[in-house]
Amino acid sequence: MTAGLSLVFVLSLLAPARPDEAILREAKLAILDRDWDKAIEECDRLVLLFPQSSLIAQAHFYRARGLEGAGREERAVRAYDGFLRQFPGDGDLQQDARTAQLALARKLVDRGEDAYFRLMKEGLSDSARPVRRFAALQVSLLSDRRHAREAIPVLVEIVRKESSPDLRDRARIALLRLDTRALAEAEEDLARDGLPVVGRRAATAPHARARWITLRIYRSSSRGPDVDLKVPLALGELVYRALDEEPKRKLREEMGIDLENFWDALEKLRDKRILVIRTNRERIEITIE
């Protein structure tokens, strides 16, 4: 449900109904109409009137969905938890409930309800791969960086093993925020295995090491750099590929910057300082390493 309504969900609204089916149908229609209170009421009615119905599991799931839609996050988390414990055999709804619960937990943790981080940590070790990877992306978005870094091992797993390019790129961007070194090592592992890595040339050079754009800022009174920031060179291409055509066109036409040729030129450089900016107070160096 968190990713949208399934075809089965929609078709079930059209089928002839038994009394319990009719009630569940009303609950689903209320969810479609975003009438969350009515959805909760209809689910409660089904449970009360037909406690032996084969639809009881769905009633509990959609009741939790109604609480989520109504913005009652903590009650929704508890309702999803009750569903997960009471009906462990319903695979699809179990996965939907788990991912919905994780998304709610992230909101609550960022709101200061740190106790809900336990649910997110459990998600990182879930036996279901989709749940585990969804949990990693949710954890990576937490504003508490100490918590967010808990996702790094699963994010690395996504980069190394996930078949979906979109999901791999989302994990790469998360690692760029959290641990560029872990990202570089994951890309090196892919390169050694001859698998696609970020960037065109890296995919054709299986033994090439990950390379970096390094930004260093030296203050006049400092011996070493006051700022030393390293970003994987290939991540620049990842960001570039994510841009719409309009900003790319503006860069070419209004600023004379053709990023396609820019990345080609950077790939040919190795251990070269490409830009130095000096002011009265500082020196800024940009280097390819």
Predicted local confidence at residue 207, as pLDDT: 40
Predicted local confidence at residue 172, as pLDDT: 86
Predicted local confidence at residue 41, as pLDDT: 97
Q: Quick one: DSSP state of residue 215?
A: E
Predicted local confidence at residue 199, as pLDDT: 45
> Interior CA angle at 172 toward 171 and 173, to 5°?
90
pTM: 0.64
Ramachandran category for residue 93: left, alpha or beta (phi over 0 → left; psi -120 to 50 → alpha): alpha
pLDDT at 67 over 90: yes
For 244-266, how does the pLDDT look when each residue is reduced to its tens digit (9 = 90+)?
Answer: 566 566 656 665 656 556 656 55
**Over residues 199-207, mean pLDDT:** 40
How far apart are alpha carbons 39 and 58 in whole angstroms? 12
- Tokens linked to 71: 């913005």
- Tokens linked to 241: 């590929």
Note whether 268 and 218 are within 8 A (CB).
no
Q: Lowest mean pLDDT: which of 27-36, 56-65, 144-153, 166-175?
A: 166-175
Distance of CA 105 to the CA centre of its chain: 14
**Over residues 92-117, mean pLDDT:** 94
Predicted local confidence at residue 251, as pLDDT: 58
Ramachandran category for residue 194: left, alpha or beta (phi over 0 → left; psi -120 to 50 → alpha): left
**Over residues 49-74, mean pLDDT:** 95
What whole-number percentage of the chain has pLDDT above 90? Answer: 45
How far apart are alpha carbons 61 and 92 in whole angstroms? 11
Taking alpha carbons only, the member of 196, 179, 178 closest to residue 187 is 196
Which residue reads 């791999």 in tokens? 168
For 42-55, how does the pLDDT look when each residue is reduced to its tens digit (9 = 90+)?
Answer: 999 999 999 999 99
Taking alpha carbons only, the member of 174, 149, 172 closest to residue 159 is 172
| Predicted confidence band of residue 220 (pLDDT cuts 50, 70, 90) | low
Predicted local confidence at residue 265, as pLDDT: 59
Pick the CATH number of 1-109 from 3.40.50.2300, 1.25.40.10, 3.40.50.150, 3.30.2350.10: 1.25.40.10
pLDDT at 201 over 50: no
Note whether 43 and 56 are within 8 A (CB).
no
Note whether 96 and 61 are within 8 A (CB).
yes
Q: What is the mean pLDDT of the chain?
A: 79
Domain ranges of the chain: 1-109, 112-210, 211-289
The full 3-state SS of 246-279, as one line of letters, equals HHHHHHHHHHCCCHHHHHHHHHCCCCEEEEEEEC
| Predicted confidence band of residue 79 (pLDDT cuts 50, 70, 90) | very high
